[in-house]
Amino acid sequence: MLGTGSWGTTFGKILADGGSHVTMWARRPELAAEISRSHRNSDYLPGVVLPANLTATANLQDALKGAQQVFIAVPSQSLRENLAAIRPHIEPTTIVVSLMKGVERGTGLRMSEVIAEGLGIDPSRIAVASGPNLALEIAREQPTAAVISSQSLETAQAVALLARNKYFRTFVNTDVIGTEFGGVLKNLIAVAIGIVDGVGYGENTKASIITRGLVEMTDFAVAQGAKAETLSGLAGLGDLIATCQSPLSRNNTAGRLLGQGYSFPAVVKQMQQTAEGLASVAPVLELARSIGVEMPIVEQVKQVLDGTLDPKDIAPHLTTDSDEPQGERTNDDAEAPGGGVVWRSVKRAFDQLRYGGRSAAGN
């Protein structure tokens, strides 16, 4: 496990509690020592005791030696520089798993694409994990589900088999694009939710943004090649709900500070952990414009970040270029891009809760 922040450490615990021997790489030797000797990571997971079969080192080569599967949980914008150091130590059959939820600034590449480029390995050896996975809740062993996705079903299954235990259940799919973009895009909607929360708006505003946000996420991801149903599964709707509802979410928290009137630089200064949404806004909008997808919520988040929109004026779900009443692009307008998707998403999520459906996509 490369990265000993809140998610890397929690995912290391998931794997260790599932029976694997886990070696973590921490860039700070003192944190590696604390994890190995005291079985704690007090910086990121206060109060959590880590399993004995999880140890840490600050030596990257030692961490990677003999690893069957390598998991990466560092901030997205630092991935490429880390891959250069990892590359010489990766063995030909090693599976590499991204736990990250961002896109690279400048290239707009998803994390699995950056890994394929940076390590020079075939996408069939790469998997991604995503879902409603707030680290601290899982570290406290609260029951949770996630999706493991790879172009190779065999690879996804190999990872899912190890990344499960009595409190963590993994589903598999082969829609890497939908799974990764679900995690990236829900962060942006969570920032919007935080902003309106900080301003003091209530549940109607938030529910409107979440619902329209899912349309925006689905339109964007489908235009990039994702399957619509992935966005209605754990990696889309599931994560959207968790992140928009929880004060544990760093994206939500960053948004709330913006809504309370802090400037973007002041928010970045206050955030002690990674809030990926802040870095993903610009590359996602560039991609959206290049494929002609409208993202009014993400556009307004960017305007708030840039200081060109007063947070209290944020009302992206009310934005329209036309004076004519528009059809709601959900179940009512099957012709429009993404039409019908949201209604089917909600129904599928409801069926999942009610009947415990077990589709391969984790829907």
Ligand X SMILES: NC(=O)C1=CN([C@@H]2O[C@H](COP(=O)(O)OP(=O)(O)OC[C@H]3O[C@@H](n4cnc5c(N)ncnc54)[C@H](OP(=O)(O)O)[C@@H]3O)[C@@H](O)[C@H]2O)C=CC1
Which contiguous run of DSSP H or E holds residue 276? helix 276-291
The candidate with the shortest Cα–Cα distance to 239, out of 295, 289, 188, is 188
In this chain, which of 155, 235, 239, 297 binds ligand 13P, going by CB under 6 A?
A: 239
Q: Which is nearer to ligand 13P, 63 or 231 (CB)?
A: 231
Per CB under 6 A, the list member of 74, 95, 185, 240 interacting with ligand X is 74
CB of 139 to ligand 13P, least distance (A): 12
- Out of 99, 172, 217, 231, the only residue in the binding site for ligand X (CB under 6 A) is 99
Q: How far is 344 from 330, CA to CA, in rounded Å?
A: 9
On whether 249 is known to bind a ligand per the annotation, the reply is: yes
How far apart CA 361 and CA 363 sit, in angstroms, is 5
Q: Helix axis angle, 79-86 relative to 111-119, nearest 10°?
A: 30
Of 200 and 247, nearer to ligand X (C-beta) is 247
Angle, helix 296-306 to helix 276-291, in steps of 10 degrees: 130
The reply on whether position 198 binds ligand 13P by CB under 6 A is no
Q: Which is nearer to ligand X, 82 or 205 (CB)?
A: 82
Nearer to ligand 13P by C-beta: 104 or 330?
104
Q: Is 256 in the site for ligand 13P (CB under 6 A)?
A: no
Which span sits near ligand X by CB under 6 A: 56-64, 97-105, 197-205, 219-227?
A: 97-105
243 touches, from ligand X, ligand 13P, none (C-beta below 5 to 8 Å by class): ligand 13P
Question: Contact with ligand X (CB under 6 A): which of 16, 70, 73, 234?
Answer: 73
Confirm or reject binding of residue 12 to ligand X (CB under 6 A): no
C-alpha distances in Å from residue 329, one per residue of 55, 109, 203, 216: 50, 28, 21, 10
Q: Which of 149, 147, 101, 92 lies closest to 126 in space, CA to CA?
A: 149
CA nearest 217: which of 252, 246, 189?
A: 189
Which residue of 110, 164, 250, 317 would you call a contact of ligand 13P, by CB under 6 A? Answer: 250
Give the whole-angstrom CA distance, residue 169 versus residue 111. Answer: 23
Known catalytic residue at 186 = yes
Out of 22, 35, 55, 101, the only residue in the binding site for ligand X (CB under 6 A) is: 101
CB 107 within 8 A of CB 80: no
Cα–Cα dist 331/309, whole Å:
32
**Residue 288 near residue 294 (C-beta atoms within 8 A):** yes
Annotated binding-site residue? 290: no
Work out whether 253 is an interface residue with ligand X (CB under 6 A). Answer: no
Q: Which of 149, 170, 249, 300 binds ligand 13P (CB under 6 A)?
A: 249
How do beta strands 144-149 and 95-98 pair? unpaired
Residue 25 CB contacts under 8 Å (≥ 6 apart), including other chains: 1, 2, 3, 4, 32, 56, 57, 58, 59, 60, 63, 64
Q: Is 132 in the site for ligand X (CB under 6 A)?
A: no
Residue of 186, 206, 302, 347 with catalytic role: 186
DSSP summary character for residue 309: S
Q: Cα-atom radius of gyration of the chain, to the nearest Å? A: 20
- Nearest-approach distance from CB 234 to ligand X, in angstroms: 12
Least CB distance to ligand 13P at residue 48 (A): 16
**Has 131 been labeled as part of a binding site?**
yes
| Sequence ranges of the binding site | 3-8, 27-28, 44, 101, 131, 135, 186, 239, 249-251, 276
- Residues belonging to the active site: 186
Residues near ligand X, by CB under 6 A:
3-8, 27-28, 44, 73-76, 78, 82, 99-102, 133-135, 273-274, 276
| Sequence ranges of the binding site for NAD(+) | 3-8, 135, 250
Residues near ligand 13P, by CB under 6 A:
101, 132-134, 187, 190, 239, 242-243, 249-252, 276
